[in-house]
């Protein structure tokens, strides 16, 4: 615009426009960064922050309520709590194949959905189940009650010394 | 490019398969990004625009007038982009929202307190809705004052009017969904405005036989009062029917812009010098020796024989930069507002405890002020007159001139200022009179309702505006100027009434100078 | 030539940077600065301080910073209070500041948090994750967090308060006692029993502040602050209120407030109700008659006092009769029963029969006897014994006499003035001639009604009294006359 000519050249003599200017790149990068951040926020939304239903951590009672040799089934929460000489332990009753609730049988557990069978300690005896029924972590709450964590697994044979 | 050349003539199918497999990444990339890099020549830029479903909405070249921010203020884009923001945030909110009277409010609380980013996204949804309504109104005013509704754009003006109505309907239906006190009572009022023809049929004593008001209300609410059925109806309207209609109309709106030759602007004289941006530009004359691609010249409502696309630049990248900038402006403003100001959520809806004052959404408050005089006149007749009047503008004002220029016809700016003043004086004066001295019912308590329907501040305002417009028609001998007078008056009336009802109306619809003076209740 | 989109690129750059900045700020605000997160971080420090043995170390190891909530679908509650009150079940947390402190163990033992949540007892906005919103005094929420001393009010939701340990509900019990002592039932109904001058109070505890007149209250606006101020000065809070000032101390106003807040008819699943609450509900279905003295204290005392003096009530602009004096002596039991059961239409005296004031027929009889058994009535009894049969009088002459002697107080045509309305259908139907004659003759002791015949015979003669009675009998309420006229015209029309 520094010349004296007020008449702009026709578009057939295109002006030398710097298309890859620093400004273009900077504005594009900041635009993409803002959009990326927004997308990250948006993607966080569908993941629930709290379980809408009851918690995944159950207070099952005081240790005295579980005498040696006894087995208590928590049907709604899908685990059993047993106690033997070594201590208390909990086994999930959710089938490791596709998540059906297994039923207690004489030999252990049986899944009604696809016929998996498990021993009393959770080992797979038959059927499509890929892994044994998981043993669940037990700890003691501040008020002395036992707490079973439904979503925390422990190695088979882990007993809680109550 | 040029992948076809890599396929040799004679080779075994196995070899070909393996070669293709080897080239798969590159071919995939080529399939996605046909050019493989940013376009460099104008030809490539045209193709970038033309060969992309989303970009081909644009013409390949865009006039520099169109690109100037002062012509459009970007209002149409702001409305569109806020709608885009609303669709995205709305879909996200749908993940957690539960449209049931028992659960809706709790799900709002969950979104506010525990859903990750939920509160922010709900705020964005709320603010984008406000921005969209304002932008749509302002866009309409812009189109009017730049005379951009004139032939051949009459149809698109009508489409735009439909979009305005849809925008208001979308915002209104969204109001009920949180199912809090605000939602419940604003919707109750809105539904009873739909019920207002009863005022006339009651006054005539024909309601038992002919009851359009009751029919409208029941159709809207699915019941006589706001409840579960209303919520589901509003939800379906808000998340499906209305957005769908809006997208369809919006597509038509955009398509018509292309078909009508882009944004309205004055015709450049062929072959000479055109003035825009305070400078003279040589207008393109086609060279006899050159062939022009169709897409470089198709513009305007007739083939540009002997004239050419002067004063234009490539849409890619210039128009895209402009659009991106407006998109980001919309988003940034929404984000800032959402960061500081939460979307309102009052107590859970309680049919036993009315909000006082129970106010409709803000863009209906001007109407609510009129409704406070006569529900039928203010809630139905005047809005109908306004919408019909707006629809008729391009058909009554058919003389070309001034397209694409702010206040383009001679004397228009003066008329606009005069009308602004007139409308302001009339509206404020009538409001002040009504607040101070009351109206017919205060003076003649026994007066028949028909008198009140016929003569109230709302109808008088309409008459004053109409009279002013007719006088302008006579005085200035110009249909356009009469239209400017009327439109300006209505705009001023709308703004003043909305402001008045928002700020100066308190509990029991009493006048207060400031909301802080409202008595606690 | 200047690049036409340069402006837009600058705009894009700046708006993008602003947007990015605010997005990041929002992310920081939500993910790092949330109040509950800061609380849990502080709590973890407390846990670390107390992790002196294996148990403590295990608790510290298992502690995670995450949103916690108690979901109780049966009570419609999702309470996130435990996100900050993380130590409510840890017996070691006795010497730490709120919100980390141990909840009183004996209450928590019977009301496990997992089953009851928090808001069923404490109110407040359980969904909130910061204290301001959870307390909700200054937020859009109907039931803000109750102050510590008033939390006992919610026990009534599931308990019969009289069966709870008295030391836990002292305020509610005291409020209950004051409710009887101040004779609130004279004007207010509870479970269908009580007067009709004031509103029924059955669900007073579940009222929101928007249902109260807050104009004359200073903020913060809460229902309990309203109640306390209102008990101290009813008309000062509700302009034009006819409620008598109950003249209570601050402490008594607080107790009455606690009682008001405890009146809540909230539907709670039966499994949550204490057995005594269920028993209480069953008892309410078949009410037992209460002793007359207690009834008088609860339902009559506010207006009639001890009933031996008539007095001018400024608020009502009328005399309140002395119902345990001469009246009770001269009137028959049937007259008194009718007056109690039917009330006096047009006055502040409401009907008390079982459909209206909720008193059982037995209770009304007992009350009538109680009125007649008062010492003042007994001493006036001999007057009534001397009543003579009343002759048939002349109403026209009676009208002249009435205008001269009675109309000054009872109003022309007996419409009532400072003295009761005599042209009252309930009164005229219930009062027999000898009652009227005795009253005119002897007057009403301790009221403004003088004796019109001296023991020596001076004053009105028996015949003149009979004339007045005849005039009174001719007075029928306009409504009755209209009804009769309608009957006649209907009978005429059908012929």
Q: What is the pLDDT of residue A2?
A: 40
pLDDT at B474 over 50: yes
Token reading at A122: 């959770």
Q: Give the model confidence (pLDDT) of C146-188 as tens digits.
A: 999 999 999 999 999 989 999 999 999 999 999 999 999 999 9
Token reading at A97: 């194949």
**Residue B365 CA: distances (Å) to CA of B58, C133, C206:** 38, 30, 33
Q: What is the pLDDT of residue B94?
A: 95
pTM as predicted? 0.84
Closest in A33, A50, A54 to C20, CB measured: A33
Q: Give B168 to chain A, closest Cα distance, Å.
A: 26
Q: Are C340 and C426 in contact (CB under 8 A)?
A: no
pLDDT at C354 over 60: yes
Confidence label for C379 from pLDDT (cuts 50, 70 and 90):
low
Closest to C196 in 3D by CA, of C385, C418, C345, C39 = C345
Mean per-residue pLDDT for A98-109?
91
Q: What is the pLDDT of residue C461?
A: 85
B325–C9 C-beta distance less than 8 A: yes
Q: Flag whether residue C131 sits within 8 Å of chain B, measured between CB atoms.
A: no
A54–C12 C-beta distance less than 8 A: no
- The residues that bridge with A104 in the sheet, in sequence order, are A109
All residues of chain C having their beta carbon less than 8 Å from the beta carbon of residue B338 are 26
pLDDT at B111 over 80: yes
Mean per-residue pLDDT for B417-439?
93
pLDDT at C220 over 80: yes
C-interface mutation test, from A13, A33, A50, most C Cβ less than 10 A away = A50
Q: What is the pLDDT of residue C426?
A: 80
pLDDT at C378 over 90: no
Which stretches of B208-283 are DSSP H helices?
Answer: 212-221, 228-236, 242-259
Confidence label for B8 from pLDDT (cuts 50, 70 and 90):
low
Report CA dihedral (B171, B174, B180, B186) to the nearest 10 degrees: 40
Which stretches of chain A are DSSP H helices?
Answer: 22-44
Mean per-residue pLDDT for B54-60?
83
- The residues that bridge with A83 in the sheet, in sequence order, are A88
Q: Give the model confidence (pLDDT) of C271-309 as tens digits.
A: 999 999 999 989 888 888 999 999 999 999 999 988 888
Q: Flag whether residue C11 sits within 8 Å of chain B, measured between CB atoms.
A: yes
Token reading at C165: 């340990």
Q: Give the model confidence (pLDDT) of A128-157 as tens digits.
A: 999 999 999 998 888 888 989 888 889 988
Q: Give the model confidence (pLDDT) of B29-38 as tens digits.
A: 888 877 777 8
Beta strands in B138-272 (DSSP E): none
**Residue C240 CA: distances (Å) to CA of C84, C210, C243, C244:** 45, 19, 9, 11
Q: Distance between CA atoms of C347 and C343, rounded to whole angstroms?
A: 8
C339-363: b or e for each residue (b if 16 or more CB lie within 10 Å)? Answer: bbbbbbeebbbbbbbeebbbbbeeb
Read off the DSSP letter of residue A160: B
The pairing of strands C311-313 and C193-194 is unpaired
Q: What is the pLDDT of residue B279?
A: 58
Q: Distance between CA atoms of B113 and B118, rounded to whole angstroms?
A: 8
Q: Distance between CA atoms of C424 and B183, rounded to whole angstroms?
A: 51
A49–B117 C-beta distance less than 8 A: no
Q: What is the pLDDT of residue B239?
A: 96
Beta strands in C20-157 (DSSP E): 70-72, 77-79
Q: Which domains does chain B have, with CATH numbers?
A: 3-54 (no CATH), 74-266+319-349 (1.20.810.10), 407-521 (no CATH)
Burial class from Cβ neighbours inside 10 Å (0-12, 13-18, 19+) for residue A144 reads middle
Give the ipTM of the model, two decimals please.
0.87
R_g of chain B computed on alpha carbons: 28
Residues of A with a Cβ under 8 Å from any C Cβ are 1, 8-9, 15, 17-18, 21, 23-24, 26-28, 30-31, 33-34, 37-38, 41, 49-50, 52-55, 59, 139-143
Q: Are A132 and A125 in contact (CB under 8 A)?
A: no
All residues of chain C having their beta carbon less than 8 Å from the beta carbon of residue B98 are none
Q: Are B469 and B482 in contact (CB under 8 A)?
A: yes
Q: Give the model confidence (pLDDT) of B270-305 as tens digits.
A: 555 555 555 565 555 555 555 555 545 444 444 444
Q: What is the pLDDT of residue A136?
A: 93
Q: Give the model confidence (pLDDT) of B201-244 as tens digits.
A: 888 888 888 888 888 899 999 988 899 999 999 999 999 999 99
pLDDT at B391 over 80: yes
Q: Distance between CA atoms of C444 and C329, rounded to whole angstroms?
A: 10
Q: What is the pLDDT of residue B300?
A: 44
In sequence order, the 6+-apart residues with CB closer than 8 A to the CB of C143 are: C119, C123, C124, C136, C206, C208
Mean per-residue pLDDT for A39-49?
88
C-interface mutation test, from B325, B334, B507, most C Cβ less than 10 A away = B325
- The residues that bridge with A108 in the sheet, in sequence order, are A119
Q: Flag whether residue B318 sits within 8 Å of chain A, measured between CB atoms.
A: no
- How large is the angle between the packed helices C223-232 and C250-262, nearest 10 degrees? 130
Confidence label for A57 from pLDDT (cuts 50, 70 and 90):
confident
pLDDT at A159 over 80: yes
Chains in contact with C, where contact requires at least 3 CB pairs less than 8 Å apart: A, B
C366-397: b or e for each residue (b if 16 or more CB lie within 10 Å)? Answer: bbbebbbebebbeebeebbeeeeebeebebeb
Residue A152 backbone dihedrals phi, psi, to 5 degrees: -120, 125
Q: Which domains does chain A have, with CATH numbers?
A: 57-154 (2.102.10.10)
Q: Give C50 to chain B, closest Cα distance, Å.
A: 30
pLDDT at C444 over 70: yes
* Helix, strand, or coil (residue A135): strand
Report CA dihedral (B108, B113, B118, B123) to the nearest 10 degrees: 70
Q: Flag whether residue B28 sits within 8 Å of chain C, measured between CB atoms.
A: no
Q: Are B207 and B453 in contact (CB under 8 A)?
A: no
Q: What is the pLDDT of residue A63?
A: 87
Q: What is the pLDDT of residue C384?
A: 56
Q: What is the pLDDT of residue C484?
A: 53
Q: Are B163 and B110 in contact (CB under 8 A)?
A: no
Confidence label for A1 from pLDDT (cuts 50, 70 and 90):
very low
B-proximal residues of C, 69-98, CB under 8 Å: 69, 78, 80
Token reading at C24: 């990041």
pLDDT at A14 over 60: no
Q: What is the pLDDT of residue C234?
A: 92
Q: What is the pLDDT of residue C486?
A: 56
Poorest-pLDDT segment among B142-146, C223-227, C447-451: C447-451
**Residue B144 CA: distances (Å) to CA of B156, B406, B410, B488:** 12, 9, 15, 10
A14–B324 C-beta distance less than 8 A: no
Q: Flag whether residue B38 sits within 8 Å of chain A, measured between CB atoms.
A: yes
- Give the percent of chain B with pLDDT over 70: 89
Average pLDDT, chain C: 87
Q: Are C455 and C442 in contact (CB under 8 A)?
A: no
If one compares B111 and C396, the residue with the highest pLDDT of the two is B111
Q: Give the model confidence (pLDDT) of C399-425 as tens digits.
A: 888 888 888 888 888 877 778 888 887
All residues of chain B having their beta carbon less than 8 Å from the beta carbon of residue C8 are 318, 321-322, 324-326
pLDDT at C130 over 90: yes
Mean per-residue pLDDT for A30-40?
94
Q: Which domains does chain C have, with CATH numbers?
A: 35-145 (no CATH), 154-270 (2.60.40.420), 292-480 (1.10.760.10)
């Amino acid at each position: 615009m520094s010349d004296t000519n007020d008449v702009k050249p026709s578009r057939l003599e295109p002006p030398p426009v710097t298309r890859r200017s620093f400004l273009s790149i900077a504005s594009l990068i900041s635009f993409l960064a803002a959009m990326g951040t927004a997308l990250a926020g948006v993607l966080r939304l569908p993941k629930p922050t709290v379980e809408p239903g009851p918690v995944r951590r159950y207070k099952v009672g005081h240790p005295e309520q579980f005498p040696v040799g006894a087995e208590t089934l928590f049907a709604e929460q899908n685990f059993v709590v047993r106690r033997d000489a070594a201590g208390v332990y909990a086994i999930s009753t959710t089938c490791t194949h596709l998540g059906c609730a297994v039923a207690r049988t004489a030999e252990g557990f049986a899944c009604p959905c696809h016929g998996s069978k498990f021993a009393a300690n959770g080992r797979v005896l038959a059927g499509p189940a890929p892994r044994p029924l998981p043993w669940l972590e037990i700890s003691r709450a501040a008020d002395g009650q036992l707490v079973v964590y439904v979503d925390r697994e422990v190695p088979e044979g882990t007993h809680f010394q109550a | 490019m040029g992948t076809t050349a890599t396929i040799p003539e004679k080779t075994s199918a196995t070899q070909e398969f393996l070669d293709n497999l080897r080239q798969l990444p590159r071919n995939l990339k080529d399939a996605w990004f046909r050019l493989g890099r940013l376009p460099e020549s104008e030809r490539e830029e045209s193709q970038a625009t033309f060969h992309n479903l989303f970009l081909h909405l644009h013409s390949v070249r865009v006039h520099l007038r169109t690109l100037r921010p002062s012509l459009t203020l970007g209002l149409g884009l702001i409305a569109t982009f806020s709608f885009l923001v609303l669709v995205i945030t709305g879909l996200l909110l749908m993940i957690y929202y539960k449209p049931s009277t028992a659960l809706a409010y709790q799900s709002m609380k969950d979104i506010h307190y525990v859903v990750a980013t939920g509160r922010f996204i709900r705020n964005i949804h709320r603010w984008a809705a406000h921005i969209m309504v304002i932008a749509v109104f302002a866009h309409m005013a812009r189109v009017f004052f730049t005379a951009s509704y004139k032939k051949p754009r009459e149809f698109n003006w009508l489409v735009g009017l439909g979009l305005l109505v849809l925008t208001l309907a979308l915002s209104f239906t969204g109001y009920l969904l949180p199912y809090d006190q605000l939602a419940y009572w604003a919707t109750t009022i809105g539904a009873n405005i739909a019920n207002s023809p009863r005022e006339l049929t009651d006054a005539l004593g024909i309601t038992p036989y002919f009851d359009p008001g009751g029919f409208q209300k029941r159709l809207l609410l699915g019941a006589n009062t706001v409840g579960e059925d209303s919520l589901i109806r509003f939800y379906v309207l808000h998340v499906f029917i209305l957005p769908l209609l809006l997208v369809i109309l919006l597509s038509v709106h955009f398509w018509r812009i292309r078909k009508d030759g882009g944004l309205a602007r004055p015709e450049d004289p062929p072959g000479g010098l055109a003035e825009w941006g305070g400078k003279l530009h040589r207008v393109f004359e086609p060279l006899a020796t050159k062939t022009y691609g169709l897409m470089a010249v198709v513009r305007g409502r007739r083939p540009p024989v002997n004239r050419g696309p002067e004063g234009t630049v490539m849409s890619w990248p210039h128009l895209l930069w402009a659009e991106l900038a407006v998109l980001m402006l919309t988003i940034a403003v929404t984000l800032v507002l959402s960061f500081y100001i939460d979307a309102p959520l009052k107590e859970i809806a309680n049919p036993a405890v009315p909000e006082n004052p129970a106010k409709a959404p803000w863009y209906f408050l001007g109407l609510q002020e009129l409704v406070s005089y006569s529900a039928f006149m203010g809630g139905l007749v005047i809005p109908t007159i306004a919408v019909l009047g707006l629809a008729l503008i391009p058909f009554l004002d058919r003389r070309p001139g001034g397209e694409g220029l702010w206040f383009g016809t001679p004397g228009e700016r003066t008329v606009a200022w005069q009308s602004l003043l007139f409308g302001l004086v009339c509206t404020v004066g009538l409001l002040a009179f009504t607040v101070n001295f009351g109206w017919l019912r205060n003076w003649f308590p026994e007066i028949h309702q028909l008198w009140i329907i016929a003569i109230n501040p709302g109808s008088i305002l309409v008459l004053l505006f109409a009279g002013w417009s007719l006088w302008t028609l006579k005085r200035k001998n110009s249909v356009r100027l009469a239209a400017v007078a009327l439109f300006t008056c209505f705009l001023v009336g709308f703004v003043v009434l909305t402001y008045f009802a928002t700020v100066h109306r308190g509990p029991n619809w009493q006048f207060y100078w400031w909301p802080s003076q409202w008595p606690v209740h | 030539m200047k690049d036409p989109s340069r402006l837009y690129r600058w705009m894009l750059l700046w708006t993008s940077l602003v947007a990015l900045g605010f997005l990041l700020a929002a992310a920081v605000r939500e993910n790092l600065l949330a109040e509950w997160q800061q609380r849990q971080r502080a709590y973890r420090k407390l846990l670390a301080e107390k992790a002196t043995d294996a148990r403590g170390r295990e608790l510290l190891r298992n502690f995670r910073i995450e949103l916690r909530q108690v979901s109780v679908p049966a009570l419609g509650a999702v309470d996130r209070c435990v996100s900050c009150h993380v130590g409510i079940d840890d017996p070691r947390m006795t010497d730490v500041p709120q919100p980390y402190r141990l909840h009183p163990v004996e209450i928590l033992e019977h009301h496990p948090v997992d089953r009851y949540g928090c808001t069923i007892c404490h109110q407040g906005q359980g969904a909130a994750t910061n204290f301001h919103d959870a307390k909700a005094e200054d937020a859009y929420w109907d039931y803000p967090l109750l102050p510590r001393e008033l939390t006992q009010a919610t026990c009534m939701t599931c308990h019969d308060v009289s069966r709870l340990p008295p030391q836990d509900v002292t305020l509610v019990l005291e409020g209950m006692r004051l409710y009887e002592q101040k004779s609130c039932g004279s004007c207010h109904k509870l479970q269908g029993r009580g007067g009709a001058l004031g509103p029924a109070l059955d669900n007073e505890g579940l009222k929101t502040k928007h249902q109260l007149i807050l104009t004359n209250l200073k903020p913060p606006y809460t229902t309990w602050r309203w109640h306390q101020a209102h008990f101290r000065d009813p008309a000062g809070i509700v302009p034009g209120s006819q409620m008598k000032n109950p003249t209570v101390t601050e402490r008594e106003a607080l107790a009455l407030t606690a009682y008001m807040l405890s009146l809540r008819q909230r539907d709670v699943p039966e499994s949550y109700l204490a057995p005594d609450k269920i028993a209480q509900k069953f008892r309410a279905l078949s009410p037992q008659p209460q002793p007359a003295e207690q009834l008088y204290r609860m339902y009559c005392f506010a207006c009639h006092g001890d009933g031996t003096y008539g007095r001018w009530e400024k608020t009502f602009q009328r005399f309140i009769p002395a119902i345990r004096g001469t009246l009770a002596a001269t009137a028959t039991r049937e007259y008194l029963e009718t007056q109690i059961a039917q009330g006096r239409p047009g006055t502040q005296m409401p009907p008390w029969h079982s459909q209206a004031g909720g008193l059982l027929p037995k209770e009304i009889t007992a009350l009538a006897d109680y009125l007649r058994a008062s010492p003042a009535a007994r001493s006036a009894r001999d007057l009534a014994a001397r009543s003579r049969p009343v002759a048939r009088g002349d109403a026209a002459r009676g009208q002249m006499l009435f205008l001269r002697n009675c109309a000054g107080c009872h109003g022309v045509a007996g419409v009532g003035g400072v003295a009761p309305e005599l042209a009252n259908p309930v009164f005229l139907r219930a009062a027999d001639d000898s009652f009227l004659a005795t009253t005119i003759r002897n007057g009403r002791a301790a009221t403004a009604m003088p004796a019109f015949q001296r023991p020596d015979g001076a004053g009105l003669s028996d015949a003149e009294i009979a004339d007045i009675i005849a005039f009174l009998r001719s007075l029928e309420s306009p409504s009755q006359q209209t009804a009769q006229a309608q009957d006649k015209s209907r009978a005429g029309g059908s012929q």
